[in-house]
Chain A
Amino acid sequence: MGHSKVLYALDEQGHYAATPCSGWEAEEIVLDQAIAEFERRAADAWQRARQGRGSALEYHMYHRRMDLVLLAQSTGFCKWRVRRHLRPGAFPKLSDRCRQRYAEALGLTPMQLDTLPEQP
């Protein structure tokens, strides 16, 4: 990314100084791993939604780097309700108000929430 951050490191005289640094091996690996895990879940959910075994909501949830617990917390719904809404049967029957809450929490328009993109 070329994004730099600050590391506290010793200079030649052995004094600590805030030093810009652009990441190192360990950090890159674990960051890639975390992002890959979200992408894997989103891709799985996309696949399921395509085949009618999952909902677009589930895809959007992982796409926004959330999970069931986080989505429940950020909408204010309880977990079992969110779990139900994630099922392909329940999702299209959601009321506009529920839909609005999901859309708000995920930063999408209600229209976007209903649709699955062409690519995961």
Chain B
Amino acid sequence: MNAAPAPLDIGIPFDHRQSAHCESGVIASLLRHQNVAISEPMAFGIAAGLGFAYLPFVKFGGLPLFAYRMPPGSIIRGLTRRLGIEMHFETFRQPAAGMQALDQYLSRGRAVGIQTSAFWLSYFPPDMRFHFNAHNLVVYGKRGDHYLISDPVIDIRVECDADSLRKARFTRGVLAPRGLLYYPRYIPSKLDLPRAIRKAILYTTGMMLYVPVPILGVRGIRLVSRKIRNLNPREEHRNKLLLGHMVRMQEEIGTGGAGFRFLYASFLQEAAGVLGKPGLAVIADELTAVGDAWRRFALHAAKMCKGRMPMDYGLLADELLHCAQRERGIYKQLRAEIK
């Protein structure tokens, strides 16, 4: 269809490390590539990636959106803003131009992050191929017609043929990637981690506790709890789809377990060392316990969907409420601890 560009044979040395989440994984590995030592949890925490949102007006296959984190794109933007790193972002109208630009960066020896749909990536296992447009990965080379890819959610390096990658980069619809391509353009010689950590924790806790909208943060969790309690028992098939969908958002879609709670606890543990505040490590343990409670909820909900446990909306609602209460306490403690 498009004129084939000259074949490339480039493999930029790139350290592939599997991570829990695509966006925090990509930005952490792009920064590590530039000799900035940063772990995935640290990247996620400083980006203030943790959150909770229940968006009944955004539908996926007729089901509302449950998000356990901030919207796509905000991890890269949040992290780099708080650390004073400047990113280069580029989108394209024409797929051909987008593919050409990618080839040019590669031939200049630059590994770049790109946003794609998860469905069209040929190396994805069929189980994971859903129409989700905000997947992120790093392209570090090209051999003939195949791009060399470090995909943070896959355990090994992979390859993708040019046609599939073009399709994945230029799908349309909600969160359409429009060929988005990015790399860090400027990194300050000294990064002020403690200050960034403080600001990020204040942001996340403020968002979870005080945003005056009932569908966000801890109030959002409580609202979902009420919704589950009031589900109409006569619409069991739909209710099961809804619960299954929620559990998938929490456990399946690259969250590192318990809807990013374990990832954030890991960040708090690391932050305790950086700030010299052992109190944060104690709070990290509590968040781990809440993460376990989230997983208990997920397990019960899944078992009820499968018929391995009698359906009990009240029990699930209580478990969610328990998570909400405990998270509220944790965020308040966190604010007190870093002040």
Contacts and interface: CB of A to CB of B under 8 A. Distances in A.
Nearest to B120: A107
Contact of A5 (B119, B241, B254, B266): B254
Interface stretch (B2-10, B298-306, B318-326): B298-306
A83 B114 CA distance: 33
Contact of A26 (B61, B241, B285, B299): B299
B339 to A, nearest CB: 24
A70 B59 CA distance: 10
Nearest to A38: B61
Contacts of A15: 269
Given A8-B266, A18-B19, A25 B125 contact: no
Contacts of A65: 119, 129-131
A33 interface: yes
Contacts of B241: 33, 37
A29 B240 CA distance: 11
Interface in B57-77: 59, 61-62
A4 B156 CA distance: 10
A67 B266 CA distance: 38
Nearest to A4: B155
Interface residues of B, number: 51
B258 to A, nearest CB: 9
Nearest to A29: B302
B127 interface: yes
A120 interface: no
B156 to A, nearest CB: 10
B15 to A, nearest CB: 14
B40 interface: yes
Chain B CB within 10 A, most for which of A9, A16, A107: A16
Contacts of B155: 4-5, 20
Contacts of A35: 127
A37 B303 CA distance: 17
B171 A74 contact: yes
Given A16-B262, A26-B251, A70 B240 contact: no
15 contacts: A3-B125, A3-B127, A5-B153, A8-B263, A8-B265, A8-B266, A18-B20, A20-B18, A25-B302, A26-B251, A26-B298, A27-B248, A70-B61, A70-B131, A70-B173
